[in-house]
């Protein structure tokens, strides 16, 4: 499928907002979670999400758009570690599925290259969060 530039910009802006929301959720959760391995991992992953925003913003600007900062009300997943990790896994799973779909739809090598790189990182993030959730379930 060959999408028009306007549609690619719309998708990239949705991705940008999704990364913005994830980074804000993870930063807040890293503050709320008592200092431990999961809080440090959550903080590190929030920084990765901010880097994804930067890459997406560059793609948007190169194609004549502007990054959107309009996000919905945030759901932090609660105040306990288990529910926060479950929420973070769900966010990463949504991102993985979204990027997979977009890689199939978009016919722009630069965009697809960036999305593939982000996809790989989102899969790693999900694995990191899943490992922490398994440890607290034991």
Instruction: Give the Cα separation of 58 and 25 in Å (integer).
Output: 23
Domain that holds residue 120: 5-137
- The pTM of the whole model exceeds 0.75: yes
Q: What is the pLDDT of residues 15-72, one digit of tens each?
A: 999 999 999 999 999 998 888 899 999 999 999 999 999 999 999 999 999 999 999 9
CATH of the domain at 60: 1.20.1260.10
Three-class secondary structure assignment of 16-72: HHHHHHHHHHHHHHHHHCCCCHHHHHHHHHHHHHHHHHHHHHHHHHHCCCCCCCCCC
Q: What is the pLDDT of residues 81-91, one digit of tens each?
A: 999 999 999 99
* Share above pLDDT 90 across residues of the chain, in percent, rounded to a whole number: 86
Q: How many domains, in total, are found in the chain? A: 1
């Amino acid at each position: 499928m060959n999408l028009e530039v306007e549609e690619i910009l719309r998708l990239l802006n949705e991705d940008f907002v999704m990364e913005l929301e994830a980074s804000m959720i993870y930063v807040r959760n890293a503050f709320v979670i008592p200092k431990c391995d999961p809080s440090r991992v959550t903080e590190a992953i929030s920084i990765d999400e901010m880097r994804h925003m930067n890459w997406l913003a560059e793609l948007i600007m190169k194609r004549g758009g502007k990054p959107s900062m309009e996000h919905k009300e945030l759901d932090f997943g609660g105040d306990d570690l288990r529910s926060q990790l479950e929420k973070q896994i769900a966010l990463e799973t949504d991102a993985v599925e979204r990027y997979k779909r977009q890689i199939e739809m978009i016919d722009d090598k630069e965009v697809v290259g960036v999305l593939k790189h982000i996809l790989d990182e989102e899969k790693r993030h999900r694995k990191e969060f899943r490992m922490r959730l398994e440890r607290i379930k034991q």
